[in-house]
Amino acid sequence: MNNFQKFETGKSIESFMGHAEGVSFGFNEAGAIMIIFFDNPTPDEIDQFKSGKRFEMRMIVLSGIIMITVKIGDLNWMDSPYTPHSNKDKAVFKDIIDGTGYALTLMLVNGQNGKIEHLRMIGMSEKFSRSFKKIAEDNLSNDFDINTYNLNLNLILSKYQTKDIVKMSTDYFKIS
């Protein structure tokens, strides 16, 4: 049975309506998905998500939490915590074939009305994908406690700004 939801530019998703601004990062059999929620994005903000615009993703583990940062076009850096423990079926990280990487679906959503403003498919670099797979599998092999996770996340967010997390990150890939 297929558990995938179909996403189309211009369609509204009921569960996205009224969503706060922010970034959500997840992973499933199809690869990574990053959903960026903006309140009523401007035409210029929407334009920043298009192919041909700069895209950079970075990653670091802080206090056992994988922190993903992303730079899209000329927008400010954004961050999202990630744990493979959040996936209902526990993510299965497919082996990386030489010369390839995981797929990343990048989605811009108007958080007010749930409308998908833009979709973009990005191929993550082989090196970044291999590093992500190792870090995520290592993270998944550790015991998980939601209260400890939330406490550590709050400590990270109170201690570091997004720009600090970006500077500390050693794993990255970019499209110029």
Express each pLDDT in 129-142 by its tens digit.
999 999 999 998 99
- Sequence length of the chain is 176
Q: Is residue 6 domain-resident?
A: no
Q: Is residue 123 domain-resident?
A: yes
Q: Is-above-0.85 flag for pTM?
A: yes
Q: Is residue 5 domain-resident?
A: no
Give me the domain span that covers residue 55. 14-175
Q: Is residue 79 domain-resident?
A: yes
CA angle centred on 150, ends 157 and 63, rounded to 5° = 65
Assess whether pLDDT exceeds 90 at residue 146: yes
Q: Is residue 4 domain-resident?
A: no
DSSP string, the chain: ---PPP--TT-B-GGGTTPPSEEEEEEETTEEEEEEEESS--HHHHHTTSTTS-EEEEEEEETTEEEEEEEETTSPPEEEEE-GGGSTT----PPPPTT---EEEEEEEETTT-BEEEEEEEEPPHHHHHHHHHHHHHHHHS---HHHHHHHHHHHHHH--HHHHHHH--EEEEE-
Q: Is residue 9 domain-resident?
A: no
Number of domains in the chain: 1
CA distances from 111 to 50, 114, 115, 116 (A): 19, 5, 7, 9
pLDDT tens track for 151-175: 999 999 999 999 999 999 989 999 9
What is the C-alpha to C-alpha distance for residues 54 and 28, in angstroms, rounded to an integer?
25
pLDDT tens track for 75-98: 999 999 999 987 655 567 899 999
Closest CA to 79 of 33, 130, 30, 24: 24
What is the C-alpha to C-alpha distance for residues 163 and 79, in angstroms, rounded to an integer?
9
Q: Is residue 3 domain-resident?
A: no
Q: Is residue 95 domain-resident?
A: yes
